[in-house]
Chains A and B, each alone.
Chain A
Amino acid sequence: MSRWLAPIAAGALAAALAWHLSLVAAPFALMRVAMNRLGASGRVNSFSHGAPTRAESQFVVRPSPDLLYSTCVYDRSSGPVLVDVPAIPDHYWSISIFDARTDVAAVRSDRDTGGAPARLALVAPGTTAPPGYQAIALEHARGIALIRILVSGDADYRAVDPLRQLASCRAG
């Protein structure tokens, strides 16, 4: 009996380790897929403004057809990345910064800014932001910056679209 205890314990330990590794690795892997899909054009540190979501054009699971999405695959490994979001009056909007393991490093909505533009600097820990920008320290160099804007129908989309084109994501 006792000679089976060690293999059983080792087996249980291996299973527990595999469990943990699968869970820890999953977000990184999925985020990498999302980044590759979004950055398929090869453009990093640049916003891409998605068309209104249709069943035929979904870039990630559970997209909301009520929201307009603009995405930037950022890479702060060569220095700060500056993210500017203009004011979009009378609409819910937010900018969120996701790191390589899907954690949200920052969210700023029109409620947080009082309707003013949002200006974030994505930096390595210990780095300061340029004047006028709020530093968001990121342990991982790459991730996704995502703008959401609530729109109601096609006419509203056409009114809002030129405004969001003013958003920028660029190496500082």
Chain B
Amino acid sequence: MLAGGGSAVQAVRQGFADGTLASGPWETGKDFGSVDATPLVRARVALRGLLALPRSEAMYFTAQRDSSGAALDGSCRYEIRGGRFAARWWSITLYDHAGWLVPNEWHRHSVGSGAVPAQDADAWTIAVAPAEEPGLWIPSTGAPQFDLTLRLYHPGAALRDAPQQAVMPEIQRVACGA
């Protein structure tokens, strides 16, 4: 019994082939919040994003690594580069590994499409770094390891049907350490 229960917990925590799609470092589930969800998907959603919306309303992509495959590290400076999405609005939010916002003195945890200047909408850069920066910046202060969740509200049909083919933002590590 323990083996079964334990491996179920592992499968839910880690996520694996069943129901997961990826484009670069960004991973998403196939069927969040849907009655078609398998028990594994449903349990994973309950643990990692309770009260998440179904894909017709919103899609959630999470990156735990940069575009070269290295784990995201709070002592490093990153640049996320992207453009427009086939969605009504989007936001990128930084969480710790357990899925909680990390306290910081600026009370800043995300950058959304509403904050991107119109002239940069096709090619924007968001910095993720421990020290304050002008422009689009998410503090990684106090987060040894973190992940990023990209929300896309009212995604278009192509994105919903084949998220693994979507062009997603690059996450480039620029420098590490103080």
Question: Chain A: residues with CB nearer than 8 A to chain B?
Answer: 14-24, 26-27, 30-31, 34, 53-56, 58, 60-66, 92, 94, 96, 98, 101-104, 107, 109, 111, 144, 146, 150, 152
Contacts and interface: CB of A to CB of B under 8 A. Distances in A.
A14 B1 contact: yes
A58 B95 CA distance: 12
Interface residues of B, number: 52
B4 A15 contact: yes
Interface string B91-135: 101010011111110010110101100000000000000000000
Contact of A30 (B39, B50, B114, B154): B50
Interface SS, A side: mixed
Contacts of A24: 39, 43
A56 to B, nearest CB: 6
Given A66-B110, A150-B89, A34 B100 contact: no
B51 A92 contact: no
Contacts of B35: 103
B57 A144 contact: no
B5 A60 contact: no
Smallest CB-CB A-B distances: 9 pairs: A18-B4, A15-B4, A61-B99, A23-B39, A55-B103, A22-B8, A27-B46, A104-B33, A19-B4
